[in-house]
Amino acid sequence: MRFEDLTDYLKLRRIAENPFEIVRYRKQQFGPNDLEVRFRGRPPLHLRGGRADFHMFHRIYLRDEYRLNPLLGSRLGCVVDLGGNVGIFSSRIAPHADRIITCEPVPENFARLQMNVGDYENIKRLQLAVTDRKGTLDIFLPVQEGATGVFSAHRDGNEDRLSEESIEVESVSFGELLDEHDIDEVDLLKVDVEGGEYDILYPAADLLPRVKRIHGEYHDVRADDPRTRIDNFAEFLRDTGYRDLVVERHPKMPNHGMFFAAR
């Protein structure tokens, strides 16, 4: 067993009933078989084979890429999960939050999200996209279905990964989401929307004082729009009151990485 596998195994022993099965699955994570992660004392996760589900589980549960560990010592009030995917982030934060609103527009992802977090009474599940307006949004389908497939409303600059084929999904603005679900304050906003973060957050500048923390991923889209460049985006977050701001740049991809903003 490699050191990385051993480290994962030791972490998994604390939270899962089948840690060795999970580590073995890691070696064929994009294979055809599904995996059930059987947690101790709470509902399992059902990860699809041939998809990036295990990769997301590894990032969120084992590598803590969203930096949740420092937040879990105290109870969170409302958490909003934009880009809920198959529910992995929401399942991790669920035992530590009073209320979670998770939004995922892609039907096949939403169906698996329902399976994974349907037993959590504190998670409200919405099949929609959050963007800059109420209405509909075209989501482009991946060129390569499965492990490396990405769904995004932003095809410019990503023609190698996104096909011309799209699906139409329901959309709302961030403000409308807050109003429709009576959200006065957000303790944690998680954003992983494949380039849609700029369309969500810039128009919501006047609402961001109600959001204590944002943990998210930023992407390289619309290179001709200076708002999408990370230095400008970081300055925008500082201007809206986020004094504690950390940017983790991807070592190989330009204008891509993680950001963590707190008041």
**Domain locations in the chain?**
1-63, 65-262
Mean pLDDT of 231-246: 98
Q: Which residues of 171-189 are buried (b: 16+ CB within 10 A; e: fewer)?
A: bbbbbebbeeeebeebbbb
Please give the mean pLDDT across all residues of the chain.
93
Lowest mean pLDDT among 18-22, 81-85, 157-161: 157-161
96-110 tens-digit pLDDT: 999 999 999 999 999
37-93 tens-digit pLDDT: 999 999 999 999 988 999 999 999 999 999 999 999 999 999 999 999 999 999 999
What pLDDT does residue 28 have? 76
CB-based contact 23:93 (threshold 8 Å): no
Question: How far is it, in rounded angstroms, from Cα 238 to Cα 11?
Answer: 35
Dihedral angle at the C-alpha atoms of 87, 191, 75, 116, nearest 10 degrees? 0
User: Which of 83, 80, 112 has the alpha carbon at shortest distance from 97?
Assistant: 80
User: Which of 261, 205, 206 has the alpha carbon at shortest distance from 230?
Assistant: 261
Which CATH topology does 65-262 take? Rossmann fold (3.40.50)
Q: Which residues pair with 3 in a beta bridge?
A: none
Question: How far is it, in rounded angstroms, from Cα 90 to Cα 113?
Answer: 9
Q: How confident is the model at residue 158 (pLDDT cuts 50, 70, 90)?
A: confident
Q: How confident is the model at residue 1 (pLDDT cuts 50, 70, 90)?
A: low
Lowest mean pLDDT among 15-24, 85-94, 235-244: 15-24
Question: How far is it, in rounded angstroms, from Cα 130 to Cα 84?
Answer: 11
Give the Cβ contact number of residue 29 at 10 Å: 18
Q: How many CA atoms lie within 13 A of 168 on its CB side?
A: 3
Q: Which residues pair with 175 in a beta bridge?
A: none
Q: Which residues pair with 259 in a beta bridge?
A: 216, 247
Question: How far is it, in rounded angstroms, from Cα 101 to Cα 34?
Answer: 26
Question: Residue 149: is its pLDDT beyond 80?
Answer: no
129-131 and 135-142: which strand pairing?
A: unpaired
Residue with the two structure tokens 């891509």: 256
DSSP state of 191: E
Dihedral angle at the C-alpha atoms of 206, 210, 216, 219, nearest 10 degrees? -10
Instruction: Kindly state the percentage of the chain with pLDDT values over 90.
Output: 82
More confident residue, 2 or 187: 187
172-230 tens-digit pLDDT: 999 999 999 999 999 999 999 999 999 999 999 999 999 999 999 999 999 999 999 99
Residue 18, C-beta contacts closer than 8 angstroms, at least 6 positions apart: 36, 37, 38
Q: How confident is the model at residue 145 (pLDDT cuts 50, 70, 90)?
A: low
User: Which of 210, 153, 201 has the alpha carbon at shortest distance from 178?
Assistant: 210
Question: How far is it, in rounded angstroms, from Cα 151 to Cα 165?
Answer: 11
45-47 and 135-142: which strand pairing?
A: unpaired
* Amino acid found at 52: A
